[in-house]
Amino acid sequence: MKKIKAKVLNKPKRLPSTLSITTEEIVQTINGLANPGNPIINWFEGYPDAKAAVHIKNGKYVQEESKEEIVFGGDISDTKVLDLKVVAYNGNEGGVYAEGGESKVTVDGAVINLSGSGKGVGGPGTGAAIKNHAEMTLRNVVIDSSGKSRFCTVAEKYSTLRVYDSIISAHGVPYGEGIDSPHGLMATPPDALEIGGNSRAHCTMSNSYSYFYNSKIICDGWAALSTETAEGFVYLEANDCDIIVTKKGYGAYADPDCHDYFNRCNFDIDGMTAIIAGEGDMTYTDCKAKCASYFALMHCVMGIPEEVGTLIVNGGTISSKKETVRIKSQNVQIEFNNVNIKSDNNVLVNSIWNDDPCATKASDAPYGVNVVLTDMDVTGDLIHEDPDRAMWVTLNSTTLNGAIVNGNIAMDVGSKWIATADSTVIFTSDVYPAQIDALAGVTIKAEGACAGEYDLASGGKLIIEA
């Protein structure tokens, strides 16, 4: 068999995203979909009478704005909160709240126990929250919450949160209680996310930064590490952490303009490790992920056609019950580099059409589904079922055992593809005969520069149409 010559295709280029959306615009959109014809409810807003045990404002501990009766020990100053003990039984009571650019506080040795359903995201009713350019460092802290919309930690409005050697755990309330006032329109996650629960452990929003080191982040459902309206930029990072979902939720989320990084973390997730929406990105380096659903779900809602979600995994191991990555009507860039991957249903990537009424429409020349596998020996199928986009597969020093359905494939000279089920591809790079194989009874139907029909080494067939 002669060298297989590629078919020349013009691969769409990634275009810059022009998405710019405010919290107010998202609130209006959600109300229009979930609560049409009724007064607008801002589900981000907390209780107006919420008070934290410790309130620090513009660099000063404000005693009259703090709820001292829920404090059962600790030393409090303008910049340090040591050995704080808080027990709160109402949803409008929280732990430590800091606001203002002059607020730079360290909380060390705290135990904060919250009960009762909260409201909105962040504010004084949170375990530890910061807003409006504040900075907070948590060390050796335990925050445990029970209640709907009861967040352990939140950073918003240009603030920076750092968490070291701590445990944060959000329990929510028993599932099935649905969406009810006053907890907002999203007191439970949308059905399209394929998860459950009614509370999140952490959330980073609105141009803020959050860093976690050597900590445990636990939730029953919905979310361990979440993001919300970036309003331009959000940064979330976890290092050497255990991230656990005990029922049905996700380990971490990247909304548009949110950038998540995970280094040497262990994910044990009853649900999925990651959800990436629109022009968000996640990078995993030397992590271990065990998932009861997908490793990652990628989708785009209420966005613009040019948005591209990015998932990069360097090293580590991934184990999932379902496909490694599910994509719903989204342009994506997926890069797996030297990763040990195992999916129980033997599917690496499955891209489908999204029936969500909020799904973003495709552009005339969408960037598509781009999958790059580098330095890997991997088993699993790549199945493309999105009618609005093309799938582009690149193998670099990689051996792939699996079917490719509706994919454009490029391979370097150090790569090999062994089809384990009938496949349909277009060769977009020249390949040598020894690089292509198929099991007995398997047929690869391909497009290339020259037509031909060939018997392959393991008993399968390659049929090329020009």
**DSSP letter (8 states) at residue 296:** E
**Number of structural domains in the chain:** 1
H or E element in which residue 53 lies: strand 51-57
Tens digits of per-residue pLDDT, 97-142?
Answer: 999 999 999 999 999 999 999 999 999 999 999 999 999 999 999 9
Other C-beta atoms closer than 10 Å to the C-beta of 142 total 17
- Identify whether 75 is part of a domain: yes
- Identify whether 417 is part of a domain: no
Cis peptide before 182 (omega within 30 of 0): yes
Predicted confidence at residue 169, as pLDDT, reads 98
- Identify whether 432 is part of a domain: no
- Identify whether 170 is part of a domain: yes
Tens digits of per-residue pLDDT, 451-465?
Answer: 989 999 999 999 999
Tens digits of per-residue pLDDT, 262-280?
Answer: 999 999 999 999 999 999 9
Tens digits of per-residue pLDDT, 349-374?
Answer: 999 999 888 888 898 889 999 999 99
Mean pLDDT score of the chain: 92
- Identify whether 429 is part of a domain: no
Residue 176 pLDDT more than 80? no
- Identify whether 198 is part of a domain: yes
pTM here?
Answer: 0.94
Domain of 178?
A: 23-390
Mean pLDDT of 313-334: 98
**DSSP letter (8 states) at residue 413:** T
Band (192; pLDDT cuts 50, 70, 90): confident
Q: How many helices (H) and strands (E) are present in the chain, helices listed first?
A: 1, 42
Predicted confidence at residue 183, as pLDDT, reads 43
Band (214; pLDDT cuts 50, 70, 90): very high
- Identify whether 291 is part of a domain: yes
Tens digits of per-residue pLDDT, 337-352?
Answer: 999 999 999 999 999 9
Predicted confidence at residue 191, as pLDDT, reads 80
Cβ neighbors of 379 (< 8 A, separation 6 or more) are 342, 346, 400, 401, 402, 420
More confident residue, 9 or 240: 240
- Identify whether 52 is part of a domain: yes
Q: Which residue has the tokens 């690089």?
A: 435
Predicted confidence at residue 179, as pLDDT, reads 45
Residues 231/256, Cβ–Cβ less than 8 Å:
no
